[in-house]
Amino acid sequence: MRKLLTLLYCLLWQFAYAGTCGQDASTKQAGTSTENISDISYELSFNIAAEQPTSISGNVVIYFILQQRSDVALDFQGQLSGPCLINGKKRKVLMQDGRIVLAMKRMREGINRVEMNFVSQSDVITIGDNRQYVMFKPGQTRKCFPCFDRPTLRARFITHLNAPDGWK
């Protein structure tokens, strides 16, 4: 339970006080302006392995509002596993240069919903002293899960941890 609480505390502290961090240049390259995106929320489920993992698998549901239809770039440096659901329909996405590009024709003005399964980059978890934790530095959130990893965009989070039986 101590491992679980430590991991949860680190995740929630980072999100509550630092928001998402990173480079804003990727938005211009993919055609997404940060002024065009608002009201971002994440529902995250992380699957924590019993053995000492180096990566995390999970699921993310991202809600956001677009003022105008446009391509949308999510930052992610891991791997997607399974289909991506965009506004309720299975869609193929383009992964390019550490970004997941969601085509404008799949987006709509107003509320959008994107869901995907992922596996984080292999160096995302730090292990030590009977604890496992994730530390996000500016531009590093994208190593853990698909997100808008930009300093000008803030979000709300709901986080679930699926931990092994017997964890204390």
pLDDT digits (tens, 9 = 90+) for 27-67: 444 445 678 999 999 999 998 877 767 788 999 999 999 99
pLDDT tens-digit profile of 104-152?
999 999 999 999 999 998 777 776 666 777 777 767 889 899 999 988 8
CA distance to 7, 32, 37, 112, 151, per residue, from 72 (Å): 30, 5, 9, 11, 16
Q: How far apart are CA 68 and CA 163, in angstroms?
A: 40
Q: Are 72 and 37 in contact (CB under 8 A)?
A: yes
